[in-house]
Structure 1
Amino acid sequence: MTTKNRNILIAIILLAVFAMIASLTMGHSHLVIGGEEIDDIGGVTGFVIAMGCVFFGIFVALSVTGFVLAVLGLVLVVVLGAVLGSVAIAMLPLLIPFLILYALISLFRTKKTS
């Protein structure tokens, strides 16, 4: 059995276990729709509603988590740019000797005219 098949089998078993636990913990709900009392939402309908709510909750949680991580990544990129920019500005005075040397070389260099 390959790792992929084993992981799929483990995921199916875990989903089945969670589904059985969810079906055992569901009680009867009391709803009023259009003035009529609906006492029992259980069985397959209750299970489908519960699983729909679970999937919606997982989707929202993962969406919010992804959004937060994306914003955090952007903030870290901006902070890194600010730090590197400030380091570059702080290092500019170190270029003064090289600029003076370049100016002296340029000053004493003569162009040959033909």
Structure 2
Amino acid sequence: MIHIIRSRAEPEQMRQMLEALGIYIKLAVDIERRILAGGGELHADCELVLLADGSEQANVWGADWYPLRQTVGYESLINIRPSANNRSMEIQDSGLRENISQIVQSLLGGVEWQ
């Protein structure tokens, strides 16, 4: 199940987002609105949910949340953007990575789900 997370996630939301993959959650993060969509099997599915909610594609980046380690991964097909000087699946810009990490940590970090 894909949820849009605008404020700290609830434990039930975390459980539902983890249903698809079990040990991690695929995310699309809107760096302008400071929200994310998580869950589902593809980053692109999360991206579509944010776009339908009013996000602009240029502000949406793919990431993963590993709740057991409380870490963020930065690799996704939706991150391949030559126009944004990101030519690989992994987000290259360290400032952008830090911004995404802050958003994800503030919305998902430390949320109990077990």
TM-score using structure 1 length: 0.22
| Structure with the larger RCO, 1 or 2 (CA within 8 Å, 6+ apart) | 2
Structure with more of its chain in helix, by fraction = 1
More strand by share: 2
